[in-house]
Amino acid sequence: AAFASQPSHAQTGGVTALTGARVIDGTGRAPIEQATIVINNGRIQAVGAANSVQVPSGATRVYMSGNSIMPGMINTHAHLQYFKEMGGPVRDQLIRRLRLYADYGVTANVSLGSNEVDELEGLKLRDEQSSGTLDRARIYTGGLNAVGKTPEEARKSVDRLADLKVDVVKFHINGNPNDMNTETWSAIIDESHKKGLRTYVHVFYLKDAQAAVDNGLDVIAHSIRDQDVSPKLIADMKAKNVAYTPTLTRDLSVFVYETRPAFFDDPFFQRGMSIYRDHVQVLSDPGRQEKVRNDKNAQAIKPALQQAMKNLKLLSDAGVTIAMGTDSGVTGAGNEGRWQGYFEHVELEYMVKSGMTPMQT
């Protein structure tokens, strides 16, 4: 936050020295206390303990005592979607959202599910980030989710995505009779792998997660929330290097607006009001809050979140690869309040509440 108030030196040239902060360098080593970071023309030139880094003469010093500096966060389950209620050109709105992510320290996102109106714009923004100066977060995208009523349709859905050069492929197993059958969604995994694409699955139930892992899935994109993860699933995920993104704030967002949450008054939250304002107004309506209080499905997510937090601890302790993700940015009525930028920080907080250490998160 202190550095955000001094952008000109880092972005437009010159030398800036950030001094006195705790630095987490992303390697897994212990934090560096009272560290110095030298930034020259927008790039990190040196980082280390104060006695090991020479600050160039004439550098602008920014004193960071009491703060921590860490690498940009990677959100492995985001949504870069167009909110028609906000209006404006699709591209301009998506860029605003990516800049908001960056303002909260989220420098890369994997968008797991576009809309028809924003799929191609998201891919264009992905392509443009490989050259020039970037003033927003990076985006990697799966485009529209893969679907099909038959294995043949499912493969064609993947082929279309592969032709668009998406980065990953996502599909849903919701645990209801309208799901694709196993033969159909397993064809998505098989065809994706033939095209060199990793697969992500939306699940809720242990049995569906196990079936997906059995059929070669790469990433579980939500928590398992119906029961404890089994020793078999843990062993299979480790053996096959299947990663796990818990999206705890996704579940929090389902019921937390039964009253006006205290974080609406948090200055850190209010930094995002240029994007958040419309949804804050919707969620502050007493009628909407009463509807959430009386919604059986919303109330059922409260114990589901507790189960999700327990399973995160079990999987993390067992050595399964854990990634941070939030499901933030998804559009549509009833999905208000999945705050891009702010919720990534809340997600880390809930990961720690689940039993992971701050350094693990």
Region 71-76: mean pLDDT is: 96
CA dihedral sign, ordered 327, 330, 334, 337: positive
pLDDT per residue as tens digits for the range 245-268: 999 999 999 999 999 999 999 999
pLDDT per residue as tens digits for the range 178-187: 999 999 999 9
Q: What is the pLDDT of residue 334?
A: 80
Region 24-31: mean pLDDT is: 90
- pLDDT over 80 at 154, yes or no: yes
pLDDT category at 5 given cuts 50, 70, 90 is very low
Strand 198-202's sheet: what is its strand order? Answer: 168-172, 198-202, 219-220, 243-244
pLDDT category at 286 given cuts 50, 70, 90 is very high
Region 304-326: mean pLDDT is: 98
Share of the chain above pLDDT 70, in %: 96
Q: What is the pLDDT of residue 9?
A: 41
Region 201-215: mean pLDDT is: 98
Q: What is the pLDDT of residue 333?
A: 76
pLDDT category at 13 given cuts 50, 70, 90 is low
- pLDDT over 90 at 1, yes or no: no
Share of the chain above pLDDT 90, in %: 90
pTM of the model: 0.93
pLDDT category at 12 given cuts 50, 70, 90 is very low
Of 114-118, 128-132, 157-161, 211-215, the poorest mean pLDDT is in 128-132
pLDDT category at 139 given cuts 50, 70, 90 is very high
The chain-wide mean pLDDT, for the chain, equals 94
- pLDDT over 60 at 162, yes or no: yes
